[in-house]
Amino acid sequence: MTNENIDPDNEFNHDYSEPPIISEVETLKEQLLESEKKKDEYLTLVKSTRADFENYQKRILRDQANEKRFAHFQFAADILPAMDNLDRALQASKQSGANDPMVQGVSMVLAQVLDVFKRHGIQRIQAEGTLFNPNLHQAVMQVPSKDLPVSTVVQVLENGYTLHDRVIRPASVSVSSQAD
| pLDDT tens by residue, 161-175 | 999 989 999 999 999
**Model pLDDT, residue 1:** 46
| Residue where a domain stops, chosen among 69, 90, 110 | 69
Does 101 share its domain with 142? yes
Does 48 share its domain with 135? no
Measure the CA dihedral 172/125/110/87, to 10°.
-20
Mean pLDDT value across the chain = 88
The answer to whether position 9 is within a domain reads: no
Q: How many separate domains does the chain show?
A: 2
Rounded percentage of the chain residues whose pLDDT exceeds 70: 89
**Model pLDDT, residue 11:** 58
Does 157 share its domain with 77? yes
**Model pLDDT, residue 175:** 95
**Model pLDDT, residue 59:** 97
Segment 127-139 mean pLDDT:
94
Does 90 share its domain with 107? yes
**What pTM, to 2 d.p., does this model score?**
0.68
* Residue 160 one-letter amino acid: G
The answer to whether position 7 is within a domain reads: no
Measure the CA dihedral 113/117/120/125, to 10°.
-170
Does 90 share its domain with 160? yes
The answer to whether position 87 is within a domain reads: yes
Does 133 share its domain with 159? yes
Does 39 share its domain with 100? no
The answer to whether position 13 is within a domain reads: no
**Model pLDDT, residue 3:** 53
Does 32 share its domain with 103? no
Does 38 share its domain with 92? no
Render pLDDT for 6-18 as a digit per residue (tens, 0 to 9): 555 555 555 555 5
Q: How far apart are CA 73 and CA 60, in angstroms?
A: 20
Contact 125, 170 (CB under 8 A): yes
The answer to whether position 59 is within a domain reads: yes
Say if residue 5's pLDDT is above 70: no
Segment 59-82 mean pLDDT:
93
> Which pairs count as long-range contacts for 69-77, CB under 8 Å and 24+ apart, including other chains?
69/121, 69/164, 70/163, 70/164, 70/166, 72/120, 72/121, 72/122, 72/163, 73/163, 73/166, 73/168, 76/117, 76/120, 76/122, 76/161, 76/163, 76/168, 77/168, 77/169
Q: How far apart are CA 150 and CA 157, in angstroms?
A: 18
The answer to whether position 115 is within a domain reads: yes
Does 174 share its domain with 88? yes
The answer to whether position 127 is within a domain reads: yes
Does 89 share its domain with 33? no
127: CATH: 2.30.22.10
Does 80 share its domain with 114? yes
Host domain of residue 77: 73-178
Distances (CA, A) of 132 to 34, 45, 162: 68, 53, 16
